[in-house]
């Protein structure tokens, strides 16, 4: 095994120096504190800046700790996610005629962060802050498939059978997740409630990390064509909205 990697050590030292200074620091001060050439420190600190771990003041060009550090331990703030996704979620509901959900991993369940009604005037109840099973909903399976680090493994889940179609064995769930990874999109064909369907794509922040699932919900016969494939027009709209929101998240 090789020894410590020097550039990682130096990057950590830069964060400690900035964090300990109590005020924004100039490049020259950083270089002096670390006893390194300015170009070396510049390369390191600009990389940290691109990762969101360091911010640079636009007028003074001094460096301070970045907003990305806040989200390191806790993940994304769910309400920041909602605020970033809201306009595209509305547009997605408008263009597909489906209800829209935004879900994040929350221990052994998917937590609903945002819900847009199906725009058909029918009476509906807001599901924000409710919990959905990971193995039986499109957004839950999307999180299992694309955010394996922040969700339990299939063997750790209680695979309750909600309908005859629920993936209630580990093998069945593994097969669903493999299909989801291959399609880049997870589905629920009446697996939580009979006749109710869903499809969901991952929302990725900077570095490609999946932080949430964006889903659409509608009766299964509206959402799926023959062979359980989601209708291409709907899947395209869903993927496009997912790309737009991910681009916003990556830019934050």
Partner 1 sequence: MRGASTERVVAAIDQGTTSTRCLLFTRTGRMLAVAQREHRQHYPEPGRVEHDAEEIWRNVARVVPEALRRAGLGPENLVALGIANQRETTVIWNRHTGVPLARAVTWQDTRTGPIVADLVADGLAGLYDSTSGFGPATYFAGPRLRWLLDHVPGARAGAEAGDVLFGTMESWLIWRLTGGVHVTDVTNASRTMLMDLRTLEWSPRLLEALDVPERMLPEIRSNAEVYGVCREVLPGVPVAGALGDQQAALVGQTCFAPGEVKCTYGTGAFLLKNTGSRIAGSAQGLIPTVGYLVGKEPVYALEGSIAVTGSLVQWFRDSLGMIGSAAQIETLAMTVPDNGGCYVVPAFSGLYAPHWRPGARGVIVGLTGYITRGHLARAVLEATAWQTRDVVDAMNAESGIPVTRLKVDGGMTADHLLMQYVADVLDVPVERPLGSEAVSLGAAYVAGLAVGHWSELEVLRSNWHRAATWRPDMPAERRERERENWGRAVARSYDWVR
Q: Which residues bind partner 1 (CB under 8 A)?
A: 67, 70, 77-80, 82-83, 86-87, 90-91, 93-95, 114-117, 119-121, 124-126, 128-129
Query: In this complex, which beta carbon is closest to partner 1, that of residue 93 or of residue 144?
Result: 93
Give least dist CB 221 to partner 1, A. Answer: 22
- Residue 183: CB minimum distance to partner 1, A: 23
Minimum distance, C-beta of residue 95 to partner 1, in the bound complex (Å): 7
If the CB atoms of residues 180 and 235 are measured against partner 1, the closer one turns out to be 235
Nearer to partner 1, 81 or 173 (CB): 81
Residue 198 pairs with which residues in a beta bridge? 188, 217
Q: Which is nearer to partner 1, 12 or 126 (CB)?
A: 126
CB nearer partner 1, residue 84 or residue 151: 84
* Closer residue to partner 1 (CB): 66 or 198: 66
| Least distance (Å) between residue 103 CB and partner 1 | 15
Give min distance, CB of 6 to partner 1, in A: 32
Backbone angles phi, psi at 49, to 5 degrees: -65, -45
At residue 64, the 3 state secondary structure works out as strand
Q: Quickly list H helices, the chain.
A: 6-21, 27-34, 38-50, 70-74, 78-96, 138-146, 170-183, 220-223, 232-251
Q: How far is the CB of 169 from partner 1 (least distance, A)?
A: 36
Using a 10 angstrom Cβ sphere, with 0-12 exposed, 13-18 middle and 19 or more buried, the burial of residue 140 is buried
Least separation in angstroms between CB 230 and partner 1: 20
Task: For CA atoms 78, 187, 204, 147, give the dihedral sign.
Answer: positive
With beta carbons less than 8 A apart as the criterion, state whether 104 and 76 touch. Answer: yes
**Two tokens at 243?**
């790309």
C-beta of 85 vs 157, nearer to partner 1: 85
Q: What is the DSSP string of 68-114?
A: GGHHHHH-S-HHHHHHHHHHHHHHHHHHH-SEEEEEEEETTEEEEEE
Q: At what angle do helices 138-146 and 170-183 cross, to 10 degrees?
A: 80
Q: For residues 107, 234, 221 and 198, what is the CA-based torsion angle, rounded to 10 degrees? A: 0
Chain centre distance of CA 54: 22
């Amino acid at each position: 095994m090789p020894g410590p990697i020097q550039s990682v050590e130096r990057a950590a030292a830069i964060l400690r120096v900035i964090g300990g200074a109590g005020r924004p620091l100039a490049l020259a001060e950083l270089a002096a504190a670390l006893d390194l050439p300015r170009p070396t420190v510049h390369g390191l600190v600009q990389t940290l800046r691109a990762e969101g771990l360091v911010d640079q003041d636009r007028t003074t060009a001094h460096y301070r700790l970045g907003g990305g550090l806040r989200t390191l331990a806790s993940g994304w703030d769910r309400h920041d996610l909602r605020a970033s996704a809201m306009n595209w979620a509305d547009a997605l509901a408008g263009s597909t005629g489906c209800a829209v959900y935004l879900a994040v991993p929350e221990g052994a369940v998917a937590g609903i962060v945002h819900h847009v009604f199906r725009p058909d005037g029918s009476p509906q109840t807001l599901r924000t802050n409710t919990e959905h099973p990971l193995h039986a909903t499109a957004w839950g399976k999307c999180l299992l498939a694309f955010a394996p680090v922040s969700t339990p493994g299939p063997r750790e889940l209680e695979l309750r059978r909600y309908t005859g179609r629920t993936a209630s064995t580990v093998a069945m769930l593994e097969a669903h997740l493999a299909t989801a990874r291959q399609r880049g999109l997870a589905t629920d064909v009446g697996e939580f409630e009979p006749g109710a369907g869903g499809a969901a794509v991952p929302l990725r922040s900077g570095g490609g990390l999946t932080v949430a699932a964006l889903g659409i919900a509608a009766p299964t016969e509206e959402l799926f064509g023959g062979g359980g494939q989601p209708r291409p027009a709907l899947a395209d709209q869903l993927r496009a909205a997912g790309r737009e929101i991910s681009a916003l998240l990556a830019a934050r």
